[in-house]
């Protein structure tokens, strides 16, 4: 047999270095990660054995073994699971096939602490062995393969690995870690057992370690001292699937530990719900809402591997988030264990199975219930949820019409009455603060929180004491277009169409609104200078301090969304020219009306239009012309 030496894919080496350097302060997670991998491998074998029972032949009891050798300074983690073929080892261990890896690497900031958190969410897997080892050997044999089809992979984690075909007497995978000099703490039965209890207590397979060494028998006079018998292996963990145990037996710690195993994540779960359903079908569901978003919640969409796992009668079948969760709840992690689905269920079958559809509805309902409860009982925790997952959750407005009402109740917005972007209000809060005679829920969409908060569109609303929701997530305009009303009150964008606040009293001390009428002939003169850049020019009832603002029609996309679409290379649907509204009470308006020099009038008019473009976040077509005009008028004054 020949040994082949190969180089790691550049990305692998990058991830490896990162794991070694940034996770050092949390090094013990390697055991959890390797045990998780072993447990996944046992799950896969059990699944394949459903149709090929011969795979279990001679070695039917699935288990994980952990052993250490103080003299050799090695720690071994062994499973009799599915194992890997030569090609699978190259594929799985030498490369990172996951499409998310590039995005993950791009997301790194260079700040060690932040990156450590990120990589914790990425799921470090096998490479975590190198946090504490200076060399790792992996021996494996695919279930069903011959004894001479074993594979030995080894590497010191520095650029290259060696791989060869070897004899391996059993099915499954064995990982031998040669511990670094100062990692002797992991050569301790007590330490290893406590880590197993902490992270792996509730995986469904037994984890075995050697028990106490039995005392060596007395040596006969003159005879050589006999070898002490090796201690028996004993099971260290509960080895019963957590979700299958009664709730009353489980502590918060148990649930949190299992979450980390499930999500391959260092984060805590924010909350969970664990239910056994019996009725026309029976199944158990355990659903977690994480406290931190995975790094690629937006980029690649779902991380199929760590979403919702489908078990049937305790046998892992597949990761089935796509079948069991709508996209807007893709942050949910957990387990569904069905007693009624057929064990040979395929993805396709799952898709249009009546039982699956029922489970899916129940999962949605339970998740929304959990969020309601969180919002009610623990508003600070709900705020955490909203910060991490709010943007994704809002997608629900566009895809889950049946629950639109419930989703709307959970929405949170920054508003003119909240401080900063982080403090948010709910729609019920908003309704409770509506002014007498106010008939609509007002909102503004903008590119950023500050652009929304400082928009000239808000001036009249401030004077009237009318609260406006400040929506600055990219998805907001799209999502809100699906939400026509809440509690009978329509949603109205303050930047669109005609706004009539005439029935609402001014707050005390507010400046009296100007008449909306412009001086005779001014609108026409402006329109003829500005041409196609504006649809029309009219007096505004929106403005108090600003001179001018651009407005789109009620059913058009806002200007900033039109810009986003244009940047994305899409034609903005219906994006005609906006209307220029002018503040009749502003000094510039008076100045314009009095201007008799046509060239000077044209400069003023253009400048006014350009100001309006800038203040709503737009880009000028002719920035240097703007500067020239501005300076010209400044010095003419």
Judged by CB under 6 A, the stretch of 80-88, 206-214, 250-258, 353-361 that binds ligand ADP is 80-88
Contact 605/560 with Cβ under 8 angstroms? no
- The span from the CA of 107 to the CA of 178, in Å, is 32
Task: Indicate the residue among 12 and 518 with the shorter CB distance to ligand ADP.
Answer: 12
Helix (H, G, I), strand (E, B) or coil at 300: coil
- The span from the CA of 408 to the CA of 401, in Å, is 11
Judged by CB under 6 A, the stretch of 22-30, 34-42, 313-321, 601-609 that binds ligand ADP is 34-42
Judged by CB under 6 A, the stretch of 119-127, 251-259, 308-316, 354-362 that binds ligand ADP is 119-127
Q: For residue 388, which of 359, 422, 360, 364 has the smallest C-alpha distance?
A: 422
353 binds ligand ADP (CB under 6 A): no
Task: Indicate the residue among 93 and 192 with the shorter CB distance to ligand ADP.
Answer: 93
- The span from the CA of 21 to the CA of 23, in Å, is 6
Q: What residues between 291 and 350 interact with ligand ADP by CB under 6 A? A: none
- Binding ligand ADP by CB under 6 A: which of 100, 123, 257, 334? 123
DSSP label at residue 574: T
- The span from the CA of 167 to the CA of 147, in Å, is 6
- The span from the CA of 114 to the CA of 23, in Å, is 11
- Binding ligand ADP by CB under 6 A: which of 35, 82, 192, 483? 82
121 binds ligand ADP (CB under 6 A): no
- The span from the CA of 416 to the CA of 230, in Å, is 72
- The span from the CA of 546 to the CA of 495, in Å, is 14
Token pair, residue 582, equals 């002018």
Cβ-based neighbour number of residue 121 at 10 Å = 23
445 binds ligand ADP (CB under 6 A): no
Minimum distance between the CB of residue 479 and ligand ADP, rounded to whole angstroms?
Answer: 32
Helix (H, G, I), strand (E, B) or coil at 458: helix
Minimum distance between the CB of residue 101 and ligand ADP, rounded to whole angstroms?
Answer: 10
- The span from the CA of 137 to the CA of 202, in Å, is 27
Minimum distance between the CB of residue 150 and ligand ADP, rounded to whole angstroms?
Answer: 13
Minimum distance between the CB of residue 124 and ligand ADP, rounded to whole angstroms?
Answer: 7
The single residue listed with the structure tokens 């990058």 is 14
Minimum distance between the CB of residue 138 and ligand ADP, rounded to whole angstroms?
Answer: 8
Q: Which residue is nearest to ligand ADP (CB)?
A: 125
Minimum distance between the CB of residue 126 and ligand ADP, rounded to whole angstroms?
Answer: 4
- The span from the CA of 130 to the CA of 156, in Å, is 8
Phi, psi of 209 (to 5 degrees): -135, 165
Minimum distance between the CB of residue 96 and ligand ADP, rounded to whole angstroms?
Answer: 7
- The span from the CA of 548 to the CA of 298, in Å, is 37
Binding-residue total with ligand ADP (CB under 6 A): 15
119 binds ligand ADP (CB under 6 A): no
Task: Indicate the residue among 41 and 350 with the shorter CB distance to ligand ADP.
Answer: 41
Minimum distance between the CB of residue 6 and ligand ADP, rounded to whole angstroms?
Answer: 16
Q: What residues between 545 and 564 interact with ligand ADP by CB under 6 A? A: none
The single residue listed with the structure tokens 């277009």 is 481
80 binds ligand ADP (CB under 6 A): no
The single residue listed with the structure tokens 């220029």 is 580
Judged by CB under 6 A, the stretch of 123-131, 153-161, 223-231, 295-303 that binds ligand ADP is 123-131
Judged by CB under 6 A, the stretch of 78-86, 336-344, 434-442, 484-492 that binds ligand ADP is 78-86
Token pair, residue 151, equals 């594979």
Residues 6+ away with beta carbon under 8 Å from 509: none
Minimum distance between the CB of residue 123 and ligand ADP, rounded to whole angstroms?
Answer: 5
Task: Indicate the residue among 18 and 41 with the shorter CB distance to ligand ADP.
Answer: 41
Minimum distance between the CB of residue 625 and ligand ADP, rounded to whole angstroms?
Answer: 56
Task: Indicate the residue among 23 and 84 with the shorter CB distance to ligand ADP.
Answer: 84
Contact 161/8 with Cβ under 8 angstroms? yes
Judged by CB under 6 A, the stretch of 33-41, 103-111, 401-409, 613-621 that binds ligand ADP is 33-41
- Binding ligand ADP by CB under 6 A: which of 28, 29, 37, 364? 37
Task: Indicate the residue among 115 and 174 with the shorter CB distance to ligand ADP.
Answer: 174
Minimum distance between the CB of residue 92 and ligand ADP, rounded to whole angstroms?
Answer: 3
Helix (H, G, I), strand (E, B) or coil at 572: coil
Minimum distance between the CB of residue 99 and ligand ADP, rounded to whole angstroms?
Answer: 12
Token pair, residue 110, equals 């260079």
38 binds ligand ADP (CB under 6 A): yes
Helix 354-377 crosses helix 379-394 at what angle (to 10 degrees)? 140
Q: For residue 41, which of 153, 177, 164, 141 has the smallest C-alpha distance?
A: 141
Token pair, residue 85, equals 């073929």
Contact 471/452 with Cβ under 8 angstroms? yes
Task: Indicate the residue among 84 and 612 with the shorter CB distance to ligand ADP.
Answer: 84
- The span from the CA of 86 to the CA of 163, in Å, is 8
DSSP label at residue 211: -
Q: For residue 136, which of 125, 128, 145 has the smallest C-alpha distance?
A: 128
289 binds ligand ADP (CB under 6 A): no
- Binding ligand ADP by CB under 6 A: which of 17, 76, 107, 126? 126
Minimum distance between the CB of residue 418 and ligand ADP, rounded to whole angstroms?
Answer: 40
- The span from the CA of 549 to the CA of 187, in Å, is 71
Helix (H, G, I), strand (E, B) or coil at 550: strand
- The span from the CA of 513 to the CA of 580, in Å, is 18
For residue 276, list its beta bridge partners.
284
Task: Indicate the residue among 62 and 608 with the shorter CB distance to ligand ADP.
Answer: 62
- The span from the CA of 153 to the CA of 89, in Å, is 8
125 binds ligand ADP (CB under 6 A): yes
Minimum distance between the CB of residue 297 and ligand ADP, rounded to whole angstroms?
Answer: 17
81 binds ligand ADP (CB under 6 A): yes
* String marking each residue 167-196 x if it binds ligand ADP according to CB under 6 A: ------x-----------------------
Minimum distance between the CB of residue 87 and ligand ADP, rounded to whole angstroms?
Answer: 12
Q: What residues between 216 and 275 interact with ligand ADP by CB under 6 A? A: 264
157 binds ligand ADP (CB under 6 A): no
Judged by CB under 6 A, the stretch of 74-82, 146-154, 181-189, 549-557 that binds ligand ADP is 74-82
Q: What residues between 88 and 117 interact with ligand ADP by CB under 6 A? A: 92-93
Cβ-based neighbour number of residue 599 at 10 Å = 7
CA 438 to chain centre: 37
Which stretches of the chain bind ligand ADP, using CB under 6 A?
37-38, 41, 79, 81-84, 92-93, 123, 125-126, 173, 264
């Amino acid at each position: 047999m020949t040994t082949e030496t190969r180089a790691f894919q550049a990305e692998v080496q990058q991830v490896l270095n990162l794991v070694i350097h940034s996770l050092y302060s949390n090094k013990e997670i390697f055991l959890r990660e390797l045990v998780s991998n072993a447990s996944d491998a046992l799950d896969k074998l059990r699944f394949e054995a459903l149709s090929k029972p011969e795979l279990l032949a001679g070695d039917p009891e699935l288990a994980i073994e952990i052993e250490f050798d103080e003299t050799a300074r090695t720690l071994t983690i062994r499973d009799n699971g599915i194992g890997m073929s030569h090609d699978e080892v190259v594929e799985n261990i030498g490369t990172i096939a996951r499409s998310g890896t590039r995005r993950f690497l791009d997301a790194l900031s260079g700040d060690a602490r932040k990156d450590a958190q990120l990589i914790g969410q990425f799921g470090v897997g096998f490479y975590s062995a190198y946090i504490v080892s200076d060399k790792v050997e992996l021996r494996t044999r695919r279930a069903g393969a011959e004894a001479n089809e074993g594979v030995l992979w080894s590497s010191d984690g520095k650029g290259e690995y060696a791989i060869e075909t070897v004899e391996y007497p059993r099915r499954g995978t064995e990982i031998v870690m040669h511990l670094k000099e100062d990692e002797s703490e992991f050569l301790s039965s007590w330490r290893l057992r406590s880590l197993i209890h902490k992270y792996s207590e509730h995986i469904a397979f037994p984890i075995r370690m050697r028990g106490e060494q039995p005392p060596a028998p007395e040596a006969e006079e003159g005879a050589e001292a006999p070898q002490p018998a090796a201690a028996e292996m004993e099971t260290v963990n509960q080895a019963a699937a957590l979700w299958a145990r009664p709730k009353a037996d489980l502590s918060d710690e148990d649930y949190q530990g299992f979450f980390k195993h499930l999500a391959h994540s260092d984060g805590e779960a924010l909350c969970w719900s664990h239910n056994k359903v019996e009725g026309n079908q029976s199944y158990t569901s355990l659903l977690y809402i994480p406290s931190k978003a995975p790094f690629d919640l937006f980029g690649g969409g779902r991380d199929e591997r760590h979403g919702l796992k489908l078990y049937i009668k305790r046998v892992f079948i597949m990761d089935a988030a796509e079948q069991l969760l709508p996209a807007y709840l893709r942050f949910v992690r957990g387990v569904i264990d069905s007693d009624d689905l057929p064990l040979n269920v395929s993805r396709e079958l799952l898709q249009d199975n009546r039982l699956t559809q029922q489970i899916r509805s129940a999962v949605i309902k339970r998740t929304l219930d959990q969020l309601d409860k969180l919002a009610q009982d623990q508003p600070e925790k709900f705020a955490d949820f909203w910060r991490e997952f709010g943007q994704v959750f809002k997608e629900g407005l566009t895809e889950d019409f049946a629950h639109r009402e419930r989703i709307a109740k959970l929405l949170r917005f920054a508003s003119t009455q909240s401080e900063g972007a982080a403090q948010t209000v709910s729609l019920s809060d908003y309704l409770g603060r509506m002014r007498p005679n106010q008939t609509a829920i007002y909102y503004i969409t903008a590119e950023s929180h500050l652009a929304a908060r400082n928009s000239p569109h808000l001036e009249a609303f401030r004077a009237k004491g009318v609260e406006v929701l400040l929506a600055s997530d990219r998805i907001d305009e799209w999502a809100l277009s699906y939400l026509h009303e809440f509690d009978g009150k329509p949603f109205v964008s303050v930047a669109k169409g005609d706004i009539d606040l005439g029935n609402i009293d001014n707050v005390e001390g507010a400046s009296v609104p100007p008449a909306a009428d412009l001086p005779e002939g001014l609108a026409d003169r402006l329109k003829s200078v500005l041409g196609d850049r504006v649809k029309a020019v009219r007096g505004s009832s929106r403005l108090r301090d600003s001179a001018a603002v651009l407005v789109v029609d009620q059913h058009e996309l806002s200007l900033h969304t039109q810009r986003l679409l244009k940047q994305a290379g899409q034609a903005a649907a219906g994006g005609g020219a906006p209307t220029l509204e002018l503040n009749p009470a502003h000094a510039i308006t008076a100045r314009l009306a009095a201007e008799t020099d046509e060239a000077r009038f044209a400069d003023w008019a253009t400048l006014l239009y350009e100001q309006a473009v800038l203040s709503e976040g737009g880009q000028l077509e002719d920035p240097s012309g703007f500067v020239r005009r501005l300076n010209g008028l400044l010095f003419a004054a």
